[in-house]
Structure 1
Amino acid sequence: MIRRVLAVAALATAVLATVPTAAQALPACRAGYMCNSQFFSDAARTNLVGVKTEFCSGEVSTWGRVTGYLNWSTSACS
């Protein structure tokens, strides 16, 4: 039983150590701006696999998955 708990804890630690690496690469969206992050499956950025949009109202819309291949854009709110 203890071995099983330790194995699950080790697996969870490994997963959590990997996921934040991609998330840390995301630029911060400054107040007063709308930001759009597009995630692609490869370095050539040919296959869109996810999007995160941060609106001027503070609402965030996401779909798909986060990868290391990112196009990021921002525009000032009016």
Structure 2
Amino acid sequence: MIRRALVAAALATTALVALPAGPAQASACPVNYLCITTYYSDAAHTTEIGLREELCDGTLYVWGVRSNYSDYYRGPC
């Protein structure tokens, strides 16, 4: 019984370690909405380092790099 518990704990720990941690992902922009994600270099949002802009007509503009520090705007067209 104790051996099963130890094996289960070891497997759970291995599974948690194996999960990759990635950067925050922007949510999908709904149809007929303008969505803008601005990425910053730090938590204070002092330096803009990237942008993802999805226009109402479906046009996508992307420049710079993504980071975990971002602002997201979504508004109807």
> Please, which runs of 5 or more residues in structure 2 have no aligned partner?
1-19
Q: Select the structure that is richer in helix.
A: 1
2:53 is paired with a residue whose SS is: strand
Deviations 1:4-33 (A, max 9, x none): xxxxxxxxxxxxx66xx22x5312211110
Percent of aligned pairs sharing the same letter: 29
Pairwise mapping of residues 55-70 of structure 1 onto structure 2 (< 5 A)? 55-70=55-70
TM-score by length of 2: 0.68
Pairwise mapping of residues 25-64 of structure 1 onto structure 2 (< 5 A)? 25-64=25-64
> Please, which runs of 5 or more residues in structure 1 have no aligned partner?
1-16
TM-score by length of 1: 0.67
2:26 is paired with a residue whose SS is: coil
Count residues with an aligned counterpart.
58
Displacement of 1:66 in angstroms is: 0.5
Runs of 4+ with >3 A deviation:
none
Root mean square deviation of aligned Cα: 1.4
Partner of 1:74: 74
